[in-house]
């Protein structure tokens, strides 16, 4: 397989200045489908490399970008943890997903003269092409909210959706948005008060008993202490987030569960929810099943849920990851025939442009 890293820019969108760092893993032969990932808050794309390599070894083309204010998409330490402009109806977050996917077929490729990075310039016409290959979208945690909100508006471009560790429906999310917006006015939207960061996640630890060797930090992430240590030691994961990032996270939780957001949903789209049954972010079995019921009520006919007994938030990083990887693969392959049939029905309407060799790393 081939692994490459490059940067995506949007020269036709003057109001969107962010360039996105992309990780791509390609199979040794022609890909059967594309799996696009969206990571969670305070993460970086490299954490998902084991899953990406596993999927590529089974024939998938796998892509993932650092979200704005995260990982290598943050241009400086001050920008790290600042995600302040998702755009109306989340258009900039959706543009990022579309642009990274479209980069697979772009020919406007240059090299940064200072860093030597490969730059893929995604133009407006690149965002409108029809890919001659099935496409699945997987989001984890905050990424599952982003993937869901993308699907609610553009689900007809997908052949399957996987939501890992989907945050449960908080009835107080609207109040949280109001309070965080007020705090932005007082402190500044890009300020990073330590007490806010502590408050944001400390409650998730309450249901767990600290192990002597773990120090009791981020117990809600995983059973695997090694995974927690890696997260704590990584300066691109363990850092203070800006107030506006939390405001937008709460706004996503609120809007994901607004029925009006889901008025453009293709009812036959298959969806898989995955979560540890001890995941405080997903809310445990009751809330996971409640999330499934919500999606069914929105008109989806094929929504399934997998729960990993005894596991917590990061099922894709924990001791159950081999089973979770296999479940992701099974979902994609089980829905591949239907995806190919969908492509065949509409094949004559667009010009296929997918290129397994572009961009060059």
Is 228 inside any structural domain?
A: no
Say what the pLDDT of residue 129 is: 62
Tokens coding 302: 């094929």
pLDDT tens across 126-174, in order? Answer: 887 656 899 999 999 999 999 999 999 999 999 999 999 999 998 899 9
Contact of 136 with 35, CB cutoff 8 Å: yes
In a domain, 255, yes or no: no
- What is the residue-averaged pLDDT of the chain? 92
Confidence (pLDDT) at 361: 44
Contact 142, 252 (CB under 8 A): yes
What pLDDT, on a 0 to 100 scale, did the predictor assign at position 350? 57
Of residues 167, 172, 16, 2, the one with CA closest to residue 90: 16
How many angstroms separate the Cα of 36 from the Cα of each of 48, 158, 294, 361? 11, 10, 24, 18
Domain region containing 88: 2-169+263-349
Look at residue 360 and tell me whether its pLDDT is greater than 60. Answer: no
Tokens at residue 348, please?
Answer: 């004559």
In a domain? residue 124: yes
Distance CA 341, CA 159 (A): 10
Residue 250 covered by a domain? no
Tell whether 148 is covered by a domain: yes
Q: Is the dihedral of CA 82, 88, 92, 98 positive or negative?
A: positive
pLDDT greater than 60 at residue 353: no
Instruction: Assess whether pLDDT exceeds 90 at residue 85.
Output: no
Residues whose CB is less than 8 angstroms from the CB of residue 138 and which lie 6 or more positions away in sequence, other chains included = 35, 36, 37, 38, 147, 161, 162, 163, 164, 328
217 falls in which pLDDT band (50, 70, 90)?
confident
Q: What is the pLDDT of residues 60-72, one digit of tens each?
A: 999 999 999 999 9
Most confident of 10-14, 147-151, 192-196: 147-151
Is residue 355's pLDDT more than 60? no
In angstroms, the CA 361 to CA 358 distance is 9
Q: Does residue 254 belong to any structural domain of this protein?
A: no
Structure tokens at 219: 């117990």
Kindly give, in sequence order, each residue whose CB lies less than 8 Å from that of residue 356, ignoring residues fewer than 6 positions away.
Answer: 26, 30, 31, 61, 104
Average pLDDT value for residue range 280-289 = 95
The per-residue pLDDT for 178 is 96
- Residue 253 confidence (pLDDT) above 60: yes
CA–centroid distance for 12 within its chain: 24
- Taking residues 306-324, report their average pLDDT: 98
In a domain, 188, yes or no: no
SS3 218: coil
- Answer yes or no: is pLDDT of 116 > 70: yes
Locate 244 and state its tokens: 């506006």
Average pLDDT of the residues in 332-352:
82
Strand order in the sheet with 160-164: 109-111, 118-121, 2-9, 20-26, 60-65, 33-38, 135-140, 160-164, 270-276, 302-308
* 325 inside domain: yes
Residue 352 scores a pLDDT above 80: no
Mean pLDDT (whole number) for 224-246: 95
pLDDT of residue 107: 86
Of 18 and 250, the one with more pLDDT: 250
Q: What is the pLDDT of residue 357?
A: 58
- Determine whether 235 is exposed, middle or buried from the number of CB atoms within 10 Å of its CB (0-12, 13-18, 19+): exposed
- CATH number where 123 lies: 3.40.50.1820
Domain count, the chain: 1
């Amino acid at each position: 397989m081939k692994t490459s890293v490059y940067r995506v820019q949007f020269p036709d969108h003057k109001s969107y200045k962010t360039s996105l760092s992309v990780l791509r893993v390609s199979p040794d032969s022609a890909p059967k489908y594309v799996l696009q990932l969206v990571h969670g808050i305070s993460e970086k794309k490299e954490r998902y490399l084991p899953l990406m390599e596993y999927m590529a070894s089974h024939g998938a083309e796998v892509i993932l970008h650092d979200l704005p204010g995260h990982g290598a998409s943050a241009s400086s330490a001050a920008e790290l943890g600042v995600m302040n402009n998702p755009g109306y109806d989340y258009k900039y977050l959706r543009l990022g997903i579309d642009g990274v996917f479209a980069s697979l077929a772009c020919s406007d490729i240059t090299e940064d003269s200072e860093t030597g990075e490969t730059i893929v310039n995604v133009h407006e016409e690149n965002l409108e092409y029809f890919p001659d290959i099935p496409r699945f979208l997987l989001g984890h945690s905050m990424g599952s909210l982003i993937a869901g909100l993308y699907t609610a508006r553009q689900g007809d471009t997908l052949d399957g959706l996987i939501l890992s560790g989907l945050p449960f429906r908080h009835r107080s999310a609207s109040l949280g948005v109001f309070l965080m917006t007020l705090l932005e006015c007082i402190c500044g939207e890009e300020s990073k008060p330590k007490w806010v960061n502590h408050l944001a996640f400390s409650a998730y630890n309450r249901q767990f008993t600290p192990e002597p060797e773990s120090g009791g930090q981020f117990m809600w992430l995983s059973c695997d202490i090694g995974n927690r240590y890696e997260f704590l030691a990584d300066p691109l994961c363990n850092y203070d987030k800006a107030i506006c990032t939390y405001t937008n996270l709460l706004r996503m939780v609120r809007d994901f569960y607004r029925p009006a957001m889901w008025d453009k949903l293709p009812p036959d789209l298959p969806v898989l929810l995955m979560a540890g049954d001890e995941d405080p972010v997903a809310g445990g079995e009751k809330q996971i099943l409640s999330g499934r019921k919500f999606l069914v009520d929105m008109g989806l006919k094929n929504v399934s849920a997998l729960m990993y007994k005894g596991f917590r938030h990061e099922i894709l990083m924990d001791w159950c990851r081999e089973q979770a990887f296999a479940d992701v693969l099974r979902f994609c392959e089980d829905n591949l025939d239907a995806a190919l049939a969908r492509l065949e029905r509409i094949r004559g309407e667009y010009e296929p442009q997918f290129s397994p060799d572009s961009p060059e790393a």
